[in-house]
Amino acid sequence: MNKAMMNEEKMGMKDESIMEIVDALNITLANLNILYVKLHNFHWNVVGMGFFDMHAKTQELYEHVAEMLDGVAEKIRMYGYNPLASMQSYLKVGTIKEAPSENINATTVANIIEEDFEEMLIGLKELDEIAKDTLDECLINMIADSMCFFEKNIWIMNAYKTR
């Protein structure tokens, strides 16, 4: 049995639909990996007022993002494909940009995280549009859970900046 027939049989979808989902998942995976590194950068380099709060918050965020990116990569494997797995490929397809390794204040960190999380929401909404016509309820739920995480943390970053 060829790969396309196996995918169609396993997921109830044609291979073209699966490939569209896999491509969108790989973009999500790329963005999550860039975000993971960027959150570490902020965790290590945040300085000044708000250091303690933002140092702890960025650790909480990168730990959660690590779980998310693992789930996305495993979902790609479930579709019968290999996930992207290099920084070069992440930077090529991702829409999240790296940040320089330099001292940064907590308010600037909050602004950048808020912008990046909004970018993640845009990508997840696009993925959701593709996924909603599938029979893959686990994928749909994974997208919804991810959207809730990013929406909540956009609110948190916004609230942090108003203190």
pLDDT tens for each residue of 80-107: 999 999 999 999 999 999 999 999 999 9
pLDDT one-digit tens code per residue, 18-44: 999 999 999 999 999 999 999 999 999
Residue 53 lies in a domain: yes
Q: Is residue 2 part of a domain?
A: no
CA–CA distance, 38 with 34 (Å, rounded to integer): 6
pLDDT in tens, 133-147: 888 999 999 999 999
Q: Residue 123's domain spans which residues?
A: 14-161
Q: Is residue 46 classed as helix, strand or coil in its secondary structure?
A: strand
Question: Between the CA atoms of 16, 71, 25 and 109, what dihedral angle is there, to the nearest 10 degrees?
Answer: 170
Inside any domain, residue 57: yes
| 1 lies in some domain | no
Number of folded domains in the chain?
1
Q: How many CB atoms lie within 10 A of CB 97?
A: 12
CB neighbour class for 123 (10 Å; exposed up to 12, middle 13-18, buried from 19): buried
Is 4 domain-assigned? no
156 in a domain, yes or no? yes
